[in-house]
Structure 1
């Protein structure tokens, strides 16, 4: 699949925007991703997945990416900008209400696991108001937690010039279930001074290409099937046990 600026809402003039369009809204973050990845990694991935998914979806438009999320768990690192759950919820609610004045279905394509609690609550309200909205994530089976092999491979595919390969370092590689209590209590820096949860050193652009294609295919399948669960999340028509968010959704502020 390819990127297509023709699907970007930001590029359009208002007469070119079709009434009832399917709108994909990428939700990212601005937060540390170790010493080797840029602060907007989640935003880059969410935007790329949304853009490539839109190519396969008739009448789909991609709204500008929302670059700030709930990233309090990364607050111990310079560069992180978190607006927290309350502000993020207000932004999501008002953006969807505005889009609904002219759009049809709206899908929030989330790239940061810390946003998921807010997505759940915001979209429950919006769906109760009658908006045809749901969310989905950028997920693959077996992804590591943060700034490890998975995200690094995807960024080597999407934006290799922005990956500082010489700065890659192995972070805490223990299972997230083991790390989670301390992460929730003290933040990422308490368990990984580098900010990495995983091992990025085996990452490759080829693996990133395959991973990105898998994420895009999954998003397209979920949107096409349009089955919404109790969290207002689109369900994979062929659910794969063990699938999880790139930034595991359990790691939240």
Structure 2
């Protein structure tokens, strides 16, 4: 982890560099811990006249399944099943994210889940992963086609 401030600066400098040869920049984000940095960097790029936005991969359909749980494990079972050790899958913290977020801000994921799992990967299936992947792609395509960055730079 390089920290939010450092990541925001890296995104800002990368965005400036990319805009010298590309008309538009989209940052695809798959980690909730990056959101604050994106909300700092992308609006600044936009205020500098660059057509930039970010897109969040919304995998969790449940606030108790946000990291290496059912959804993410299902996606990997669909996309790269050879990378999943189903025999090692174990249920992690399943309390809703709003309940555990304060502890995570203070002590990271380890403060609420020694394994790092937030959810239950033991219920994951490739079929659910295929469904989720289709949903992610359709959502991304719709937001890209509309290209409506909000005030925070996120595509709506």
TM-score range, shorter chain: over 0.9
Aligned to 2:105: 184
TM-superposed deviation, 1:103: 0.8
Aligned to 1:13: none
**Cα deviation per residue 1:6-30 (whole Å; 9 max; x = unaligned)?**
xxxxxxxxxxxxxxxxxxxxxxxxx
TM-superposed deviation, 1:147: 0.7
TM-superposed deviation, 1:140: 4.1
Aligned to 2:137: 216
Aligned to 1:121: 40
**Cα deviation per residue 1:140-195 (whole Å; 9 max; x = unaligned)?**
46142111000000011111111111110011111112112211222211211111
Q: 1:182 & 1:131 partners in 2: Cα distance?
A: 36
Describe how 1:49-88 pairs up with structure 2 within 5 A.
82-88=1-7
Q: 2:9 & 2:111 partners in 1: Cα distance?
A: 30
Aligned to 1:228: 149
Q: 1:178 & 1:139 partners in 2: Cα distance?
A: 19
Judging by fraction of residues, say which structure has more helix.
2
Q: What stretches of structure 2 of length at least 5 have no aligned partner?
A: none
Aligned to 1:108: 27
Structure 1 runs of 4+ off > 4 angstroms? none
Normalised TM-score (structure 1): 0.59
Local SS of the residue matching 2:5: helix
Q: 1:187 & 1:226 partners in 2: Cα distance?
A: 33
**Cα deviation per residue 1:209-248 (whole Å; 9 max; x = unaligned)?**
110111011111101101111111100xxxxxxxxxxxxx
Q: 1:100 & 1:190 partners in 2: Cα distance?
A: 39
Q: 2:82 & 2:47 partners in 1: Cα distance?
A: 44
Q: 2:102 & 2:7 partners in 1: Cα distance?
A: 24
Q: 1:183 & 1:212 partners in 2: Cα distance?
A: 27
Query: Which one of 42, 53, 61 corresponds to residue 142 of structure 1?
Result: 61
Q: 2:17 & 2:78 partners in 1: Cα distance?
A: 34
Q: 2:86 & 2:60 partners in 1: Cα distance?
A: 24
